[in-house]
């Protein structure tokens, strides 16, 4: 569970014994945050996210956290809520982390000592949007295998495949970020992506070009072990009604990457208009879903059902005042547009997407080895 020490009231005699992340918030603001967290925790308990079960399952998520770390838009309330949500998972691929890591470090302090992270360098330039890729993970549940890589083509590759040069003559707008992990019986790799937005033909072509380039690079690296058990995830920016994005998805399927069946067609944005955030897994049984009793094995979580609701401005009055102060103060009216901007910037305009991986293969291993030994009798 996250670290709640900042929520001790100013009269708490033990308060001084704990390092504070938000030492200047008032007692009424702390009470507002506590009420928000209680609603969120109740909603999370009722969601389909399964409980952790020793070494049996691993809960993997992806989340584009809008402009994370780029400015002072996230309040103490928003940071506590981010930590509460992420703490329900074991491993989260984060997109749209910006160059400043201050918010990320606050988030990790809230999550507690079991949690750590690894980030990519900044994708400089306006087309790269000055973004990083990030993995946040619970080190008591999953460990890094040692592999970290930004996928990148080489000169001889383009000499062999000149037609795969992306249409804007850049190799990648934002470099795909790969990391290897191990847990129980599973060793796997994750590639996190953030493809070009925009629903016009130019945006769709850039997404198609980058996916074709990625898959061609993976094909050339097919002798590397991390390729076999690979999850491709992130913000693909595939538009639901764009035929060219549908063609790109079909191409992914042809190359052996299947979209997670329980997630197909589920909207992943606050607007509920598109399925941008996805998981594509290598075909086969390696990424077998854990069997969840009375729960789904994968889903999209909408925390706005519980907190920062469209009609919930009165529930977040102190956070709103902090938000206004962070943005320079002034006589801001709490209009619908500005409140919607505020609530998205506390969490994100994207929703977290997750699936539960079966991590324990003991029964299958024993059955197979019994058959092999019996053949030698």
pLDDT digits (tens, 9 = 90+) for 66-80: 999 876 678 999 999
* 150 neighbors 131 (Cβ within 8 angstroms): no
Average pLDDT over residues 179-195: 92
Q: What pLDDT is attached to residue 72?
A: 65
pLDDT at 351 over 60: yes
**CA distances (Å), 271 to each of 274, 304, 348, in order?**
8, 11, 11
Convert the pLDDT of each residue in 136-168 to its tens digit. 999 999 999 999 999 888 878 877 887 776 655
Least confident of 253-262, 272-281, 291-300: 291-300
Written as six digits, the tokens of 93 are 């691929």
CB atoms within 10 A of CB 171: 17
Structure tokens at 99: 């160059």
Q: What confidence score (pLDDT) does residue 306 get?
A: 97
Which pLDDT value is given to residue 237?
95
What does the pLDDT read at residue 167?
58
Could you tell me the pLDDT band of residue 24, with boundaries at 50, 70 and 90? confident
Degrees, nearest 5: CA angle 70-74-80: 130
More confident residue, 124 or 231: 231
pLDDT of residue 171 exceeding 90, the answer is no
- Residue 169 pLDDT > 70, yes or no? no
191 three-state secondary structure: strand
Task: Give tens-digit pLDDT for 96-127.
Answer: 999 889 999 999 999 999 999 999 998 887 77
Confidence at residue 339, expressed as pLDDT on a 0 to 100 scale: 86
Most confident of 244-248, 300-304, 373-377: 300-304
Cβ-based burial of 84 (10 A; exposed 0-12, middle 13-18, buried ≥19) = buried
Q: How far apart are CA 312 and CA 67, in angstroms?
A: 23
The pLDDT of residue 292 is 65
Query: Which residues have a Cβ under 8 Å from the Cβ of 235 and sit 6 or more positions away?
Result: 62, 64, 95, 96, 193, 194, 195, 276, 277, 350
- Please, which pLDDT band fits residue 304 given cuts at 50, 70 and 90? very high
Half-sphere exposure (CA, 13 Å, Cβ side) for 362? 5
The residue among 356 and 337 whose pLDDT is bigger is 356
Asked if pLDDT for residue 227 goes beyond 90, the answer is no
Q: Would you say residue 294 has pLDDT above 70?
A: no
pLDDT digits (tens, 9 = 90+) for 30-77: 999 999 999 999 999 999 898 877 778 899 999 999 999 876 678 999
Location of structure tokens 């390729």: 227
Q: 331 pLDDT exceeds 70? A: no
Rounded CA gap, 60 and 54, in Å? 15
Share of the chain above pLDDT 90, in %: 53
Burial (CB < 10 A; 0-12, 13-18, 19+), residue 1, is exposed
Cα(126)–Cα(118) distance, rounded to whole angstroms? 23
Q: Is the pLDDT score of 170 beyond 60?
A: no
Q: What is the mean pLDDT of residues 237-252?
A: 91
pLDDT for 1 equals 75
Sole residue written with tokens 């970020």: 177
Pick the more confident residue, 363 or 64: 64
290: pLDDT strictly greater than 70: no
Higher pLDDT, 169 or 262: 262
Q: Which residue has the tokens 């993995």?
A: 135
Please give the Cα distance from 206 to 203 (Å, whole number): 5
């Amino acid at each position: 569970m996250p670290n709640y020490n900042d929520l001790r009231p100013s009269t708490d005699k033990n308060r001084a014994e704990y390092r504070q992340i938000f030492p200047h918030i008032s007692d009424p603001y702390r009470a507002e945050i506590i009420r928000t967290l209680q609603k969120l925790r109740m909603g999370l308990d009722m969601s389909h996210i399964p409980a952790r079960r020793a070494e049996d399952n691993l809960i993997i998520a992806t989340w584009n956290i809008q402009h994370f770390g780029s400015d002072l838009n996230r309040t103490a309330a928003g940071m506590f809520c981010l930590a509460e949500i992420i703490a329900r998972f074991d491993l989260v691929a984060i997109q749209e982390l910006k160059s400043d890591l201050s918010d990320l470090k606050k988030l990790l302090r809230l999550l507690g000592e079991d949690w750590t992270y690894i980030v990519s360098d900044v994708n400089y330039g306006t087309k790269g949007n000055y973004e990083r890729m990030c993995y946040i993970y619970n080190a008591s549940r999953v460990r890094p295998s040692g592999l970290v890589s930004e996928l990148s083509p080489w000169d001889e590759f383009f000499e062999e495949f000149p037609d795969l040069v992306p249409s804007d003559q850049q190799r990648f707008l934002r470099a795909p970020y790969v990391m290897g992990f191990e847990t129980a019986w599973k060793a796997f790799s994750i590639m996190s992506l953030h493809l070009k937005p925009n629903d016009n033909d130019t945006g769709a072509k850039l997404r198609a070009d980058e996916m074709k380039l990625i898959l061609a690079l993976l094909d050339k690296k097919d002798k590397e072990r991390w390729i076999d058990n690979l999850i491709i995830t992130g913000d693909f920016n595939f538009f639901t009604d764009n035929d060219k994005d549908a063609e790109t998805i079909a191409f992914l399927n042809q190359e052996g990457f299947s979209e997670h069946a329980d997630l197909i067609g589920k909207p992943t944005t606050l607007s509920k208009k598109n399925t941008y955030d996805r998981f594509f897994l290598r075909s086969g049984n390696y990424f077998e879903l854990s069997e969840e009793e009375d729960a789904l094995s994968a889903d999209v979580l909408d925390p706005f059902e519980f907190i920062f609701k469209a009609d919930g401005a009165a529930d977040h009055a102190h956070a709103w005042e902090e938000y206004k102060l962070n943005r320079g103060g002034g006589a801001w009216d709490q209009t619908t547009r500005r409140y919607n901007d505020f609530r998205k910037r506390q969490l994100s305009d994207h929703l977290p997407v997750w699936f539960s991986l079966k991590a324990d293969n003991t029964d299958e291993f024993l059955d197979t080895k019994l058959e092999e030994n019996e053949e030698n009798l």
